[in-house]
Amino acid sequence: MIEDACLSKTSGPLGLDCVYADIIAPADTDFARTHVMVHGGMHTGACWMRTPDNREGWALRLARTGDRVICVDWPGCGRSGYVPPEKLTGQLVADQIAAAVKTLKGEIILWTHSMGGAIGWRIAELLAGRLSRLVAIAPGPPGNIQPVAKLMSQGPDRLTMEFAGVPLDVHPNGPVVLSHEAARAKLIGSSTQFPRQHTDSYLAGLQAVPRQLFLERVNFEGQQLRMLTPNALAGTQVLIVTGDSDPDHPPATDSAIGDFLTEQGMISRFVYLPDHDITGNGHMMMLERNSDQILDLILVLINES
């Protein structure tokens, strides 16, 4: 909740009825640029708004710099309303978010996280010529370079794969629901910065992941979204930000995404937080106790480029 005369907040459809968003902007000044923030799996746009220990999230802090901030919920997820499961693909999510963003004016910076990063590479292609920068937080790679998922077993009633170090069953019908054990391992892991006294309330708020979106994220049978237009984003600046306590995102993995983007003509910079004396961060760095310090670093890097 925002109780601040310096900021205004509205919520509702963004451009198209299928994309719900929270929009935060300076109350009495014009803004020069807009940050569009795309969440990852098991979350909604609310993850950018407030931390588990009830501090202001990155969206509010960005708005306090004088910019407009838009936090979207994926189509078919959160508050964006129902999409039939057979139609809910990563391409549809990318298409509809990109179409909504195209209705905006001015400079646009796209922020993505995790599974939203994999979708975000395609969103960025669809917005070629509109984006000034892309900030990818522990992002999933595009399907061009992601290994195919390895199954533990496959039968008529389920797929079983290892996810976050534990077996995970994916059934033919219905979304993917992670156990608290798997969610804790994936999202918190060995982080020393996550406010662990709020772990239970955080895990209780997680969302199920639509089945097809999950299968794309793990690149089952090569289904992950791919970047389709080489050099479409040539010259676009990208920051890839990774912490040192995120087991699914070791430096070699995320820096390889940067190398691929550089080959596509993008100006990519890999930001490994310990290189900037910021340590202990896991997968949900925007929710962790030192989130303000991380955002301050990102803003310095954005504004110096």
CA atoms 192, 111, 224, 159: torsion sign: positive
Q: What is the mean pLDDT of the chain?
A: 93
Residue 7 in tokens: 């900021």
User: In angstroms, how far apart are the furthest CA atoms of the chain?
Assistant: 59
pTM score over 0.85: yes
pLDDT band per the 50, 70, 90 thresholds, residue 304: confident
In this predicted structure, the answer to whether residue 1 has a pLDDT above a threshold of 50 is: no
The shares of helix, strand and coil residues in the chain, as percent rounded to the nearest 5, are 30, 25, 45
Domains of the chain (ranges; CATH) run 7-146+224-303 (3.40.50.1820)
What per-residue confidence (pLDDT) applies to 163?
85
